Chains A and B, each alone.
Chain A
Amino acid sequence: MTVDDSGTNTRQAGDSYRPEGTGTLVGAGAVEASVARRRPRKLEQPVQFIVEGADAWEFWTGLARRLELSAMQVHDFRGIAELRQYLRTVQHTPGWEGVRTLVIGRDCEQDAQAALQSVQSHLSAANLPVPLAPFSFEGSGPRVAILLWPAPVKLAGSNVWMGTGTLEDLCLSCIPQDDLVCADRFLQCVEGQRGPLKRRHKARLQAYLAGTDHAGLQFRDATAAGAWDLDSGVMDPFIALLNSASAYPTATGSAA
């Protein structure tokens, strides 16, 4: 992972989060936000990985750093509603001509197929290559891939992708499932008393963290503190895709 102009990728574990956009403040001081405003982001690497939201940016930035993917830059496109305009705008941004690979990542949420289709439609509207399935590359100049998490599964005999969940679910799937027994019992108790939780995935993650040395940390801070086992086999398809993205040859023949 390289340092980008905004300094957003220079953060070390334990630092507070510095927002990338014009800076809705997220757990950081106004000084940091103003720094981000003064230093707009350039596209400095041939592999651009754009993800939905600050938490995802923190998570995937950490993984890219861990994997030493020096040709990859991670950006936050903030929300799916903004993806279409982001994809149009990023093509005007200085450095775009050097981008060889674009990876777009987002949650499956309630419906992996719908999540895939939304990204596909935004890519099409931005005149970019449209992968037919997640975890595969399409086109060139740049080639494009879509990542969905936690883990979409192709329905046998069709092109439909199944699966639900969020980044929190992916993180929790990285830890030994026995470690979640207490958290799940707690949530079962709560829901028995008060009914179903609206944001169960977040509650489950916080309940798990409460029983660890990371108690009290927000998701991004827990991520930065190394709360998730990124060596888990659950991460293998993601790591394989990101390694493949970074190994794409450049025009000069060297790896991107």
Chain B
Amino acid sequence: MIESFKISNFKCFRELELPRLTRLTVIGGRNGVGKTALLEALFMFFDRLNPNVTIGQYARRGVPAVPLTTDSVFAPIFPYFDMSAPVRLSARISGVAEDLLASYNPAFRPASVVGQETQPGNGVVVVPTSGTSGPVASLDLSYTSSAGRQDDAHLLLQPKAVALAVDRVMADMPRAVIVGTGSPDPNLVSQRYGEMDVSGTHDRLIEPLRAVEPRLKGLSSVQVGNASLMHADVGMGRKLPVAFLSEGFSRLLSILVFIGTCRGGLVLVDEIENGVHHSAARSVWGGLAAAVREFDCQLVVTTHSYACIESAAEGVAGEFAEDLSYVRLERREGAIIANTYDRETLDAAIAHGLEVR
């Protein structure tokens, strides 16, 4: 579990330190203060060996295609698109110090490697690369940990794709998933549900989902054409595609499925309040708290909603109470800082009706 996280030179952050992250961390703050960028920094830390690691942010923002230029693919992760100084992401994960350095290299010469490449909007395609090409623009990714792990890879800007050239990588990376403001790819959700079905944990989804759909009796992953889609039994004589139920149900299902398939990993959710009726929010939080504990996962979410934060404080209670913390990002004297509330302070702020966002 990530216990602390530090960002240097990433997007809107020159320096940002989160001294304390808990199993359930809620991020708040005004528009444009970097809540989504923080999620993306956390995601990049875990997803560093995915060739989609930088251009994936376009898809999450609804941009269908981007030109394959350094300005579009690499520069957006640097403050003011200035690639002269490297991005550094540092985390303490279960007592181990880990560090990721991302540096722009305008003239990388690939060695003979096997890489992956991706194009915006397409799935990842594994292709062999000859390694005999001339210098190419690269985002050099260097990861080290105090436990002795070291990964070195290069995100390469190719004429028709972004490729990943790997010098050295060790196995067993924890999984991370980021959920944008809408519903995730239903095919991916269905595939992940299949993993839970195989492991026999899929039934754990029913109870927390009843917070938003009390009629729910069961779930199935069903092949429809070339896609696999989730269907739900809500007592109507036949199962319905989840997409035909509420947005809130669909989204909560996705989040729970990702939690259930990210053991030891991280699920990031932007604007978690989307689609959830306020009357269900407390139960939803209770279900999420139990799920992340059961599946040994960590959940970091953003919200603009005071009601959502109140519901979290009410719903994440009892044995789970200390799993919740709240962080408000705020601009102060030109810099963005993190104001961390422990559980006691968050409860007091809400009890006194004090603003926390």
Q: Is B136 an interface residue (CB 8 A)?
A: no
Q: Point out the residue from A37, A90, A94 that lies within 8 Å of B357, measured CB to CB.
A: A94
> In the complex, are the beta carbons of B352 and A92 less than 8 A apart?
no
A75 to B96, CA, bound (A): 44
B:320-357 near A, CB below 8 Å: 328, 330, 332, 339, 341, 344-345, 348-357
Contact A89 B357 (CB under 8 A): no
Q: Which one of A36, A43, A86, A95 contacts B348 once the chains associate, using CB atoms below 8 Å? A: A86
**Once A and B bind, how many residue pairs between them come within 8 Å at the CB atom?**
64
Could you tell me how many residues of chain B have their Cβ less than 8 Å away from some Cβ of chain A?
A: 20
In whole angstroms, what is the CA distance A78 to B351 when docked?
10
B352 x A94 contact (CB < 8 A): no
CA distance A256 to B264 in the complex (A): 51
Known: A38-B306, A38-B307. A93 touches B355 (CB 8 A): yes
**Taking the complex as formed, is A5 at the interface, i.e. its CB lies under 8 A from any CB of chain B?**
yes
Task: Give bound CA distance, A72 to B23, whole Å.
Answer: 39
Cross-interface CB contact of A22 among B332, B339, B350, B355, cutoff 8 Å: B350
User: What are the residues of chain B within 8 A of A97 when measuring CB–CB?
Assistant: 332
Q: Which of A21, A38, A42, A95 contacts B352 (CB 8 A)?
A: A21
| Contact of B330 with A21 in the complex, beta carbons under 8 Å | no
Contact A23 B348 (CB under 8 A): no
Once bound together, how far apart are the Cα atoms of A6 and B306, in whole Å?
13
Closest to B353 in A: A21
- Contact between B354 and A41 (Cβ–Cβ < 8 Å)? yes
| Given A38-B307, A93-B356, also A22-B328 (CB < 8 A) | no
* CB pair B349 A93 closer than 8 Å: yes
State whether A20 and B353 are in contact (beta carbons under 8 Å apart), knowing that A38-B307, A86-B348, A92-B341 are contacts in the complex.
yes
**Contact of B345 (CB < 8 Å), options: A20, A38, A82, A92:** A92
* Residue from A6, A89, A90 having most chain B Cβ neighbours under 10 A: A89
Whether B354 contacts A89 by the Cβ 8 Å rule is yes
Are A92 and B339 in contact, with the CB atoms below 8 A?
yes
Hey, which chain B residues are within 8 Å of A5, CB to CB?
A: 355
Chain A min CB distance to B347 (Å): 9
User: A77 in the interface, Cβ–Cβ < 8 Å?
Assistant: yes
Residues of A within 8 A of B350 (CB): 22
| Interfacial residues, chain A to chain B (CB-CB below 8 A) | 5-6, 20-23, 36-38, 40-43, 77-78, 82, 85-86, 88-90, 92-95, 97
List 7 A-B residue pairs with CB atoms under 8 Å apart, sorted by A's residue number: A23-B353, A40-B306, A40-B354, A40-B356, A82-B352, A92-B349, A94-B328
* B interface residue numbers (CB < 8 A to A): 306-307, 310, 328, 330, 332, 339, 341, 344-345, 348-357
User: Given A22-B351, A93-B356, list of 16 further CB < 8 A pairs?
Assistant: A5-B355, A6-B353, A21-B352, A22-B350, A38-B306, A38-B307, A40-B306, A41-B353, A41-B355, A78-B352, A85-B344, A86-B348, A88-B345, A94-B330, A94-B356, A97-B332
The 4 nearest A-B residue pairs measured at CB? A40-B355, A89-B348, A85-B348, A42-B355
